[in-house]
């Protein structure tokens, strides 16, 4: 009985000592975090915002199946791969915009997937059913003043999109108080520090084949011309 009591006493003492040691470590970690927040900095985790309309809402200009694949497969994959790259490289930039502004510091995988995430997040917002009816306000004044008319703007924007060889994007950007049409390859955009022409994108068109091939096959120009019917000019106005 005496030996059993002694064993129980030793075991209880060990447990209490271990708990006290863990408590000290936790307390030290909390104190360290309070005085030096950098010790608990972790890579950001990016998430996909819900689509602001139904998958079929942009028909007949963009079909439901294309939207389901584009949003649910392509965009989702960019986010998954971006989060993986953030962890692998221990990247802790404050936002995806900050990350893009310093993209030359990181790998091509980070560049492609950060661009793919930002570009698509904005692309969904730049479209809406009957979007053409929202052409008004500051953007209408700016486009009419600089390009002469919406039709003349479309001519230049379409030309840029058609000349983008392979995969990429065409953008309307603000730069030095003026509007400019530019194009970038792959998932690059004008926010990146490696962009040939830097500026603030206020409208962008995805001309990767996955954005239109199910409906339009190789007829990129038909896709572009129909896309103007669903441009959300309200969203563009909100950015300028």
Q: Read off the CATH number of the domain in which 223 is found.
A: 3.55.40.20
Which residues, 6 or more positions from 186, have their beta carbon under 8 angstroms from its beta carbon? 112, 115, 167, 168
Tell which residue, 149, 155, 160, 127, has the closest CA to residue 236: 127
Using the predicted structure, report yes or no on whether residue 47 has a pLDDT greater than 70: yes
| pLDDT tens, residue by residue, 128-159 | 999 999 999 999 999 999 999 999 999 999 99
Burial class (CB in 10 A: 0-12, 13-18, 19+), 154: middle
pTM of this prediction? 0.82
Q: For all residues of the chain together, what is the average pLDDT?
A: 86
Please check whether residue 32 lies inside any domain of the structure. Answer: no
Handedness of CA 162, 166, 167, 172 (dihedral sign): negative
Pair 70, 148 in one domain: no
Please check whether residue 42 lies inside any domain of the structure. Answer: no
Pair 230, 151 in one domain: yes
Considering its fold, how many domains does the chain have in total? Answer: 2
Give the domain range for residue 187. 131-237
Average pLDDT over residues 73-81: 98
Average pLDDT over residues 62-81: 98
Pair 101, 186 in one domain: no
| pLDDT tens, residue by residue, 81-134 | 999 999 999 998 889 999 999 999 999 999 999 999 999 999 999 999 999 999
């Amino acid at each position: 009985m005496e030996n059993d009591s002694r064993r129980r006493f030793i075991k209880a003492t060990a447990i209490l000592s271990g708990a006290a040691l863990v408590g000290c470590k936790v307390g030290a970690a909390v104190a360290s975090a309070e005085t030096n927040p950098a010790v608990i900095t972790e890579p950001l985790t990016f998430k996909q915002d819900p689509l602001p309309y139904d998958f079929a809402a942009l028909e007949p200009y963009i079909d439901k199946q294309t939207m389901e694949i584009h949003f649910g497969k392509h965009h989702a994959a960019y986010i998954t791969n971006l989060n993986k790259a953030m962890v692998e490289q221990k990247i802790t930039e404050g936002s995806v915009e900050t990350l893009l502004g310093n993209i030359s510091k990181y790998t091509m995988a980070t560049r492609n997937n950060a661009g793919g995430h930002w570009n698509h997040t904005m692309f969904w917002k730049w479209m809406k059913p009957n979007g053409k009816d929202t052409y008004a306000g500051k953007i209408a004044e700016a486009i009419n003043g600089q390009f002469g008319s919406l039709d003349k703007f479309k001519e230049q924007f379409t030309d840029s999109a058609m000349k983008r060889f392979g995969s990429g994007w065409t953008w309307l950007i603000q730069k030095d108080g003026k509007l400019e049409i530019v194009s970038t390859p792959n998932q690059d955009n004008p926010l990146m520090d490696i962009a040939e022409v830097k500026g603030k994108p206020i409208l962008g068109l995805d001309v990767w084949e996955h954005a239109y091939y199910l409906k339009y096959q190789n007829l990129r120009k038909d896709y572009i011309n129909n896309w103007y019917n669903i441009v959300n000019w309200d969203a563009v106005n909100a950015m300028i």
